[in-house]
Structures are given as structure tokens and as C-alpha cells.
Chains A and B, each alone.
Chain A
Amino acid sequence: MNIIVCVKHVPDATADRQFEGDGTVDRVGVDGLLSELDEYAVEQALQLKEKADGDVEVTALCVGPEKAADAVRKALQMGVDKGIHVSDEAIAGSDYAATSLVLAKAVEKAGTETPVDLVVCGMASTDGVGSVIPAMLAERLSLPQVTMASVIESQGDQVRIKRDGDTATEVIGATMPLVLSVTDQSGEARYPSFKGIMAAKKKPVETWSLSDIGVDAGEVGLSVAWTHVEDTTERPPRSQGEVVKDEDGSGAGALTDFLASKKFI
């Protein structure tokens, strides 16, 4: 079985994330890492490999600038077998549509020898939080999408997932090949072991440019994006209001007074 897991390199959510003047995310000024939500995707891909009967190869696929190779390396340390890093200056500033195009073309190329059975994604990237790339990939690759999975079961080429929706909990079923996305409810992701970190150094990573995957530079990047950021503004920090210490039950009274003063009672 050939599994591709899509991993994104994102600015650290706990740092001061910022925008560039052109409305793109600052990917230089803030340290980047493998999107935490994609660790769950890596974990599920590895579990599928461990549970499968036959031979399974798991490949981490990342589209992003040079530094994004770190995300691939982390996935290798966690246990994936090899990495593909698609990097090209022309990709900078790409929107969802272009990113999904590059990912789809890379998945196609990755499947030239052994067809891809599963494309596993995270539920969202922690910077864009779109939760749309998996559906776009499914659309571009004409594959079924089984997305936002909290529980994944597979038997042969059949996959069943549990999806906790807004109004219902659903069980979705489909036949491979398919695009799967997993939520942070799917189970803790493993930490790289010392052995895993050492082994990762010897694992193969291929770097592909746009021409390697047959995408024209004019199809991607900021200048041809289908959406345009007009303006970004930092929200003024909230100013801290009164904080009281609860002594002998005074806290509840003060709280109630505050609620009343704001007309919530």
C-alpha cells in the first residue's frame, strides 16, 4: 500500500505570528514547525501501516519554502519512510486553489510507479485554519473524501470513519484510493524516539520543483491567486479589567455586581 501524508510547515502558534506587507503570512520572522494538527495525520498513517498485513510505504509530502524541509524531517523522525518536499520560488503566496493544485500534481507523480491508495491530511493547518485543502485535493484527484475523522477503521481497501458533525455523528465509508483527513480527537501523536531521530537521517527525501511535477509557474503564486488580501490589522490587545481575590465568598458578590452593571442579569 502507498500512503501519502500531507504535512504543512507553519509559524509557531505560540509565537507572535505576523503578516508581510503584501498580506502573505510571515514565514521567516517566526520559527516554523510541523503543524501540530498534521502530527495526528502522521500518527494515523503510521497506525494504518502498523495494522496492515502487506507492505506499506508512508511518504510525507510538504509544499513550502526551503525551511519547510523541517516539517518533512519531523515526520521522518516520527516514523514515515520517506519524504517529498515541493519547493519553488514561484509557489510563494499561493492560495488554497494553487496549493491544492501543487499537492495534487505531486500526489500524481508520487503514484507513477505504485498507485497511491491513501492521501492523509490533518483537519486544518494551524496558520490558515481553512480545512479546505483535503476536499480540494479530493476534487482535483477525483477521489472520495472521508474527512474530519475521529476514528478510522480499515479492512482491505475499505475505510470507515467516524465524523462528529455539528448536528450529527456520522459513519462514512469509502473504497481506496481516497483522501482522508483526521482530527485531533483521533488519538495522541507519538514523539520521535532517539532511534527514530537517528534513523531519519538516513531516510530519502526528494525535492521537487514545479517543472518536476508539470505545473507551470504562471499557474501558482501570489500574482495569480483567486483571492486577494486587501488589508491586515493587528487587533488591539485587550486591556485587563478588574481582578478581585475571593476572600470569604466576596468574589461571587463582586462577580454578580459586575454582571448586573453590564446588564447581563
Chain B
Amino acid sequence: MSEVLVLVDHVDGAVRKPTYELLTIAARLGEPSAVFIGPSAQGAEVAEKVKKYGAQKVYVVDDTEIKGYLVAPKAEALQQLAEKTSPAAILIPSSVEGKEIGARLAIKIGSGLITDAVDVEDGGVTTQSVFAGNYTVKSKVTQGTPIITVKPNSAAPQEAEGAGTVEEFAATISDVAKTAKIVASQPRKSSGRPELNEAAIVVAGGRGTGGDFAPVEGLADALGGAVGASRAAVDSGWIAHTFQIGQTGKTVSPQLYIAAGISGAIQHRAGMQTSKTIIAVNKDEEAPIFELVDFGVVGDLKSVLPTATEKVTERKG
């Protein structure tokens, strides 16, 4: 069986959940191999983690010559690894960085690229959600080695014992790949809440919060969910851009999405329309968000949310 390369999603060696989802998907297409681009000293530790999700091989690409630059060196490393292993497919996390690595790699190796897949079946048929979630598209790569970027939450990680054999891979990084330098990097502070991409429950606030996110955060915490926002709230400077949901923010597909003080513009819907259950709280009964809801409250979020938070906390006892 051919190998399927999975680019490990990690922050300073801490493996992130999408990696396990990708390994699970990779097993449908061939034999999962993890590719860890990071300090080689961390290779063994990463291998211990990814072998639990079926990684047979773990290619460790030391990042001393890679980490100071934007995406191009990573694409080169993957190109060289692809040439060595002739994989059946290459799976990459669908982050901003992942998509750009995939883009460069696709041109380098002359292979088709599919971005933002929410599912990949055996045979390599991908599912994407497009036009603001209004359409589902199935596609396939028809040229070269399929390169597929996969969105978080696209598969439930399945434990499977892999050999996890570590193989150091020395990539040669060219000078042209080292031209966009990372001059400074400031890690994002954790909010202590679940990651927006991964959360089962998301409570989001919009312009209707008037800038006070406390009611939104309170309900999110009572339900153990993440906090999100509309662009209007982000543009007003009330909350950081990383919390924005929609076309130019994150796409989420949680079990439960609660929109408070959000009108439901198409660009916002693009980021949340595929959520399983949708609830809205809005003063205006004509707000388009109500067209999408499983349950809605026409009312002032400033009173509805805090009272609901109290009641939820009470019930939980």
C-alpha cells in the first residue's frame, strides 16, 4: 500500500488535534505517514503521539533552516519528501499556512490541489462546502499526487496502533525559498476556552452586544463553549480578529451555535451555516438569522443571555 503523507499541525512541538483527524482520513487512502517539520530533538516525542493514530512512519524534518521563513521552505521540504516516497496523497491542515504550502507544492510537483475539504472518502473523492455553505461539492484530483487541505473537525480521530518509525529527512532549502523572513512572532494568548475551530458549542456576539461581551462569555462558559463574533464586533474593536466567524474569519460547524445580536449577513452565514443546531437571540424579529434557526428568541440579549446563563448553571447543579 502506498504511503499518504500527513503534515503534522503543531505549535512548538505540541501536536494539535487536526493532525489526528488527518491521520484518520489518511488511513482510508493508504498507509499514513506523519511529516513533522520542527526541531529534530522533538521528533521522538511527536512520534509517540502520532503512532497512536496509525502513523507507520514519522518523517522528521529539522526546521533549523526553515522556521525563520514563511511557507516556501516547507513546500520545498514536502516536495523532496514526495519525490522520495511517491505518496498516494498529501494531506495538509486547512489553515492559512497549510493552504499556502499546498499551493506552492501543487505548482512544484504539478499536482492538483483541493482546499478546505470537509470530508475525504476512500478513492480520494473530497467534499467541500461552498457558496457560503449553500452548496456541497464533490471533487477529485485528476493530475499528479492529490494534495488536499482538510478543515478541522472533518473526521473523528480514531485510535489505531502504528509503528511510528522515526526517519530523519534532510531537506535542502534553496535561497529563493528564504526570501520572506519572519521578523517577529507573538504567540496568541490562550483564552482558556475551547478553540473556536474545535469547539462543540460556540456562542457568538455581534453588534447587538454594544461592545459588552460579558453576557456572551458568561453563556459560553456555562455551556463549556467557545466565544465567537461577527465582523461588525471585530471591526468595532470589541474583540480580536481571531474570534471572527464568517467568510473572512473562521468557518465553524459545531453541534450548537448561538448567535446573539447578530443579524445573519451572508458573509457571516458562510462561517456557521453548517452548524448542527442553531439558536439566535435578536431584538429584531425580522433579522435574517431567524431563517436559519432551530430555536429563536426575539428579545434583548442583555437580559436573555444572563438569565439563561443562571438557569443553565442551576440545572447543572
Instruction: List the interface of chain A (C-beta within 8 A of B).
Output: 13-14, 17, 19, 23, 37, 95-97, 100, 123-124, 126-127, 129-136, 138-140, 142-148, 150, 160, 164-175, 178, 183-185, 225-235, 237-238, 240-246, 249, 251-256, 258-260, 262, 264-265
Contacts and interface: CB of A to CB of B under 8 A. Distances in A.
B99 interface: yes
A246 B312 contact: no
B286 to A, nearest CB: 11
The DSSP consensus for interface residues of chain B is mixed
A258 B26 CA distance: 38
A13 to B, nearest CB: 6
B181 A256 contact: no
B104 A135 contact: yes
Given A147-B100, A170-B182, A129 B247 contact: yes
A175 B179 contact: yes
B180 A146 contact: yes
Contacts of A124: 247-248
Nearest to A143: B179
Interface string B252-267: 0001100000000011
B164 interface: no
Contact of A258 (B97, B113, B138, B279): B279
B106 A136 contact: yes
Given A145-B72, A228-B140, A238-B278, A256 B315 contact: yes
Nearest to A230: B138
A69 B305 CA distance: 49
B293 A172 contact: no
B131 to A, nearest CB: 5
Contact of A235 (B111, B136, B223, B315): B136
B158 interface: no
A138 to B, nearest CB: 7
B276 to A, nearest CB: 9
Contacts of A138: 72, 104
